[in-house]
Amino acid sequence: MPATAIDAWRRELESAHDTLSIGTEGDDKLAVHLQERIERYADTGYGACWLSNPDIAQLVVGTLVHFDGSRYSLLAWCVMPNHVHVLVRADKGHRLSEVVQGWKSWSARRANRALGRTGVFWGPDYFDRFIRDSTHLHACRTYIRNNPVAAGLVATPEEWPWSSR
């Protein structure tokens, strides 16, 4: 995801702040609007699509599931060609930022080695959301499950091999 695109969208959304009917929770709604744009962009398949390589996608899957049940609980996940969606509950004593950093550093080193490349593999940040209630949890699970379908990669979620389905 080009940083210039994110910065431009952020500036555009901030300047449109008043026209979006955003109240006191404005920063949260701006973040949601920005995240939606980023997700639409990613689903179009732009950028490096190293995860479309089945070996690299499987490497990322292995990384995600490795500590499932001991450091965190995976609730849903999907490895797309150029990004990953994960719904996770970090266990007590394990911060989400540390879990994500572990996934990114472990998988980046191995993916770069497998691809015969060096340099940045993952973007510098990640986007997270606080799950408000069971309705929101269900919506997130459904979104992740259907992401390959929405991106036009498969007809049904069951066809996508790199997800919790």
Q: Write b or e for each residue in 58-94: b if 16 or more Cβ atoms lie within 10 A of its Cβ, otherwise e.
A: ebbbebbeeeeeeebeebbbbbbbbbbbbbbeeeeee
Name the average pLDDT for the chain: 85
Domains of the chain: 1-43 (no CATH), 48-159 (3.30.70.1290)
Q: What is the pLDDT of residue 9?
A: 64
Of 155, 138, 136, 161, give the one whose Cα is nearest residue 78: 161
Neighbours of 2 (CB within 10 A): 11
Range in 1-5, 81-85, 143-147 with the lowest mean pLDDT = 1-5
Q: What's the rounded Cα separation, in Å, for the pair 145 and 162? A: 10
pLDDT in tens, 109-141: 999 999 999 999 998 888 888 899 999 999 999
Residue 26 has pLDDT above 50, yes or no: no
Q: What is the pLDDT of residue 17?
A: 60
- pTM (2 decimals)? 0.76
The count of C-alpha atoms lying within 13 angstroms of the C-alpha of 48, restricted to the half-sphere facing its C-beta, is 13
Q: What is the pLDDT of residue 165?
A: 79
Residue 102 has pLDDT above 50, yes or no: yes
Of 118, 82, 121, give the one whose Cα is nearest residue 101: 121
Q: Which two tokens stand for residue 142?
A: 């459904």
Residue 97 has pLDDT above 70, yes or no: yes
Contacts of 153 (CB under 8 A, 6+ apart): 80, 81, 160
